[in-house]
Structures are given as C-alpha cells and as structure tokens.
Amino acid sequence: MDTDTQTPIQTPDPASPEPVQPPAAAPVAPAASTTGPAMKKILLVEDDDALANVYVTRLQAESFDVKRVPNGEEALSTALQYKPDLILLDVMMPKVSGFDVLDILRNTPETANVKVIMLTALSQDSDKDRATQLGADDYLVKSQVVIADVVDRIRHHLGN
C-alpha cells in the first residue's frame, strides 16, 4: 500500500499553507456570544455593601457587565476609565455626594452623555428636582422600588 500520495495533506507545504489551518468555527462562536457588543457596562455607585452585592449579582445575572465603587470620588475616576453605558448613582455617600458626582459627570466631556439613574433613599420632591436640574436621566427612591423595577428602568434607558 502506497500512502505517499496522502503525505502532502498531512505535512505543511510552505508554498501552500492552506492544509495546516485549523478549523476556527467552533471556538469563535462561544467567544462572540459572551463578549459581544450587546453586553452593556453599568457602574454601580453604592456605599452599602449588602445592597451593592444584591444589585451586582442581579445585574450580572441579567447579562450586564457591572463594576461597583463605594463612593463618589471613586465613581468619577472609574467612570473615565471604565466608560460605562449607564451609572446607577446613590446620593448620600462618603467623600463626594451623588449630586456633586452627577454635576461633575455632566460637565466633563467624556462622561456628559452617559445615562445616569439616581438610586437613593431621598424621597423629597426638592431632591428629585435637583437631580433633574443637574441632568439625571431617572430618579428612583430605594424604598419605592424593587430590583426588578430598577432593571426595567436600566433596560429602558439603554434601549434593550
């Protein structure tokens, strides 16, 4: 039996690299589905660790890429580096308040158009009015919403 006729298919030929190319279809499909452009980035700014963990877990389960920071100061630097599609922003936080963070975000060219949902314990109309004047896209009072409502508002603002 002469197998020499099959040898060029099994050994790489420098003039013809085609026979040595591995099939690429199988590994490409899973990578595209997990890192595709549909995964939106959310920056969660919340100083309450327990509440933040609940939100991070739920938002990741909803296929969002989530990064959490515990204060307004970190929110500002992280927003520039992480480039989120949406920021969930608490108001009452250490270092820099959510209102001040929102004001700075709206006056910084790189973050001026990022969607911002205020998620706060403050339920006064004056607080909501202040957030609106500063450019918040939405204002949710923690005691008046459940996490499913927050997810719905996020999807609404992100258009998905």
Helix ranges (DSSP H) in the chain: 7-10, 25-35, 49-61, 72-82, 98-106, 125-134, 147-158
- pTM reported for the whole predicted model: 0.76
d(CA 141, CA 119): 6
First to last CA, the chain: 63
Question: Any idea of the CA torsion for 144, 150, 153, 157, to the nearest 10 degrees?
Answer: 130
Domain residue ranges in the chain: 38-158
pLDDT tens, residue order, the chain (160 aa)? 554 544 444 444 545 444 444 444 444 333 334 444 569 999 999 999 999 999 999 999 999 999 999 999 999 999 999 999 999 999 999 889 999 999 999 999 999 999 999 999 999 999 999 999 999 999 999 999 999 999 999 999 999 7
38-158 is classed CATH 3.40.50.10800: no
d(CA 52, CA 3): 65
